[in-house]
Amino acid sequence: MLKPLTRTAACLLAAATVLGLAACAAMNTEDAATVLRRADTAMGGATVKTLRYAGTGTGTTFGQAWQPGQAWPRITYSSYSRVLDYDNAAFREDAARSRAEVNGGGGVPLMGSGEQRTSVWLRGNLAWNMAGTTASPAQLAADGRIHDLWTSPHGAIKAAIRNQGTVAIRNAARGETGIAFTEPGRFSATVWINAGNLVERIDSRLPHPVMGDIDVMTTYSDYKDFGGVKFPTRIRQSQGGFPVLDLQVSEVQANVPAGIDVPANVVGATERVTAEPAAPGVWFMAGGSHNSVAIEMRDHLMVVESPLYDGRALPMLEQARKLAPGKEIRYVINSHHHFDHSGGLRTAASQGITLVTSEVARPYFEATLANPNRISPDAFEKSGRTAVITGVEGKRVFSDGGRNVEVYYIEGSVHSQGFMMVYLPAEKLLIEADAYTPGPPNSPAPAVANANQVNLAENIARLKLDVDRILPLHGRMTSMRELNTMIGK
């Protein structure tokens, strides 16, 4: 039988209850500024001007799924570091990564073929990549890098203070407060600060050229003290519903020299679109990292590939129209669903152009392109249109009675499902993406042939295509002879 409480115990219980209620009441009346100041103090953020952290872990190649709608392909990081310069709104990430699964795209070498080293930078609104001492503008990546800078643990506190964050939600039972803020035109976020006054999770949303407004969840755990600065030793992030990062942090240094300066060729850089005739009425449009091909038909134009984002796709489509004045662009053919090659589909749809994708990817694009892009409205969002998408099952021939444009699947590829190439039989031209990207002219054949290149040649042979020249959607125009040399034929 339970004994009745003594008077002393009853008094203590009552006092604890009153104190608990008082604490809850205090929590419920605290404004965002108070919560943020307390977190900033607890994490040692007031003195942090720059911060470097490093570790190892796993990640994925975002937007490069083998099958549309599947999880992003897994990779392993043997090294990973970031430098965050809060005073100058600057960011640097250096990594060495290798594939952890066979299928899927991205610039990472094929499974078992070694590591890829990357170095990506940001300062202010300008983004670029470094390869040795060579800088390449990468403005498409600016939104993501700005997001990652200001959703880091200390960055989120600073951004929420600067943008006058407000209390969005409280969880008194767990002692959590959610502070909402918006980085105008870039992203919105809710920062979850726990009972220990540490940032433990950030739910954010940012614009994306394929997915529209995309949800991101970043969790921070296992905090340790690094010279008076508290920082998590486990960072996990998901984007678009799938994991993109799981990092074990082993090094943290505050107030290190950042040295993040914008290269001269990045300042004022604009998208450059060139047009080189490949055959009468066929133009190879290059000038950047991704190419397109314009094909003139009797009463309209077709374009193969609208890549990246509005910034590339808009001038590319404008250039295509100049090549055949008075002819509408009726179709844009998409080689495959990977985000770098499909990032301009919304742009094309904004102009009423019919999108031609694989039947494998069609349902994915119908759902994805219907998503709003409200944080930073793109051309498609502003147009108010609905995308018109048609799917190809294995093969489709477009003809105007004089020119045939044949679309085929590249079967058996580890790069992508629903992978398509375009063949112009009269001109003996093949248009393809990612299966073969030529190196510098007269490059020697590798000791081991690239599996994607071998697969492309096998598909050309399977379909009995008479190919003379290849118009790759990366790199320079090349030839079937050069492809055969690269694979040892």
Asked if 373 and 208 touch (Cβ cutoff 8 Å), the reply is yes
Strand partners, 93: 82, 120
Please state, in angstroms and as integers, the Cα–Cα distance from residue 357 to each residue in 69, 291, 320, following that order.
Answer: 15, 17, 20
Secondary structure of residue 121 in the 3-state scheme? strand
Architecture of the 274-486 domain = 4-Layer Sandwich (3.60)
Asked if 306 and 209 touch (Cβ cutoff 8 Å), the reply is no
Q: What are the strands of the beta sheet with 420-424, ordered from one edge?
A: 395-399, 404-409, 420-424, 429-432, 469-472, 478-479
Q: What are the strands of the beta sheet with 389-392, ordered from one edge?
A: 274-279, 282-286, 292-296, 301-304, 329-333, 354-358, 389-392
Amino acid symbol at 267: V
Nearest CA-CA partner of 336 in 364, 373, 297, 371 = 364
- Backbone region of residue 433 per phi and psi (left: phi > 0; alpha: psi in -120 to 50; beta: other values): beta
Strand partners, 74: 60
Asked if 336 and 304 touch (Cβ cutoff 8 Å), the reply is no
Nearest CA-CA partner of 403 in 324, 336, 456 = 324
Query: What tens-digit pLDDT sequence spans the chain (489 residues)?
Result: 444 445 555 444 444 444 444 444 444 558 999 999 999 999 999 999 999 999 999 999 999 999 999 999 999 999 999 999 999 999 999 999 999 999 999 999 999 999 999 999 999 999 999 999 999 999 999 999 999 999 999 999 999 999 999 999 998 888 999 999 999 999 999 999 999 999 999 999 999 999 999 999 999 999 999 999 999 999 999 999 999 999 999 999 999 999 999 999 999 999 999 999 999 999 999 999 999 999 999 999 999 999 999 999 999 999 999 999 999 999 999 999 999 999 999 999 999 999 999 999 999 999 999 999 999 999 999 999 999 999 999 999 999 999 999 999 999 999 999 999 999 999 999 999 999 999 999 999 999 999 999 999 999 999 999 999 999 999 999 999 999 999 999
Domain with CATH 3.60.15.10 in the chain: 274-486
Please state, in angstroms and as integers, the Cα–Cα distance from residue 192 to each residue in 167, 246, 259, following that order.
Answer: 10, 19, 31
Strand partners, 420: 409
Domain with CATH 2.50.20 in the chain: 32-254
Architecture of the 32-254 domain = Clam (2.50)
pLDDT given at position 173: 85
Please state, in angstroms and as integers, the Cα–Cα distance from residue 481 to each residue in 63, 153, 409, following that order.
Answer: 32, 53, 22
Pairing of strands 354-358, 329-333: parallel
What are 18's two structure tokens?
Answer: 């009153």
Strand partners, 171: 176
pLDDT given at position 7: 52
pLDDT given at position 29: 59
**Distance separating alpha carbons of residues 3 and 5, to the nearest angstrom:** 6
Amino acid symbol at 463: L
User: Residues 447, 432, 416, 130: what is their CA dihedral angle, to the nearest 10 degrees?
Assistant: 70
